Amino acid sequence: MTSFTAACIQLRSGKTISDNADAAESLIRAATKDGAQFVQTPEMSNVLVRSRQELQERISDAEDDLFLKRARALAADLGIYLHLGSLAVLAGNGKIANRAFLIEPDGNILAVYDKIHMFDVDLPNGESWRESATYEPGTQTVIADLPFAKVGMAVCYDIRFPAIFRTQARVGAQVLTAPAAFTRQTGEAHWHVLQRARAIENGAFVISAAQGGTHEDGRETYGHSLIVDPWGSVIAELDHDEPGYVLAEIDTEAVAKARQRIPAIANERGFSCTLREPAGEMPA
């Protein structure tokens, strides 16, 4: 089996986990009815709360998370692979994990990934983010071996760090993922080019569900959930920031063809870097 139908679910998650689970379930059921076999939700599907204290009060350990429990039951009910782009769950050390889950059609959890790169930035419009103050970063990249594809797992800001995706591609990943809650400002500037670049340089599909719109905690996210093919073409996009879903047919034979046409992974070589500094002052 080399082909399957993938769906991106676009959400506008708020502060109440049960409400977010209701919204996600409705869209997941609709996408599955349209033929989706692999369904992905965005980063922080279960809750978006900017206040660290309030977030900790609302979430729980993974095994007790309401969103995850409902997602596992839903995957089993629909018989789909369900990729929760990430959930906020307690990490057990005073911090929180930004954790992705890939659930099998029987409801069991096949793979878990903790976001590695923390979004610690000061944006020109005055927005300031310090994810490292709240979240415990992961240390290991993860690939899930599904019947129709090997799927690499990543989250949002990871998309700006190509080494994760190249490492996954080197060991066989045909589908790369970057479910996100991109800010509107960075999304407008970089969302599409980053997704397409990761697809092109690795000859892989990229599937990235997104949060979109103005959220209950005041943040604005970009939306534009999309799927990119191994040649860098956007083959499906939800071209707005409203909740919804988008589907595309994924044929992994296209990965082999792209990597044969441009064998960047096979041609890659190791190298060193030398910094040359002037021996003295430049002549006047």
* CATH code (residue 207): 3.60.110.10
Instruction: Name 100's bridge partners.
Output: 113
- Is 156 noted as a catalytic residue in this protein? yes
Q: Is residue 278 part of a domain?
A: no
Q: Is residue 282 part of a domain?
A: no
Catalytic residue among 8, 25, 104, 115: 115
Q: Is residue 239 part of a domain?
A: yes
Can you tell me which residue has the tokens 């809750």? 47
C-alpha pair distances (Å), 124 with each of 127, 137, 156, 186, 194: 7, 25, 20, 10, 20
Catalytic residue among 43, 104, 136, 150: 43
Which range of residues forms the domain containing residue 261?
3-267
Q: Is residue 279 part of a domain?
A: no
- The secondary element (H helix, E strand) that includes residue 28 is helix 17-33
Kindly give the pairing relationship between strand 96-103 and strand 109-114. Answer: antiparallel
List per-residue pLDDT tens for the chain, 284 residues long.
789 999 999 999 999 999 999 999 999 999 999 999 999 999 999 999 988 889 899 999 999 999 999 999 999 999 999 999 999 999 987 789 999 999 999 999 999 999 999 776 676 766 665 677 788 899 999 999 999 999 999 999 999 999 999 999 999 999 999 999 999 999 999 999 999 999 999 999 999 999 999 999 999 999 999 999 999 999 999 999 999 999 999 999 999 999 999 999 999 999 999 999 888 766 66
Residue 211 phi/psi, 5-degree rounding, is -80, 150
Q: Is residue 52 part of a domain?
A: yes
- Is 15 noted as a catalytic residue in this protein? no
Which of 258, 223, 252 has the alpha carbon at shortest distance from 237? 223
| Total structural domains within the chain | 1
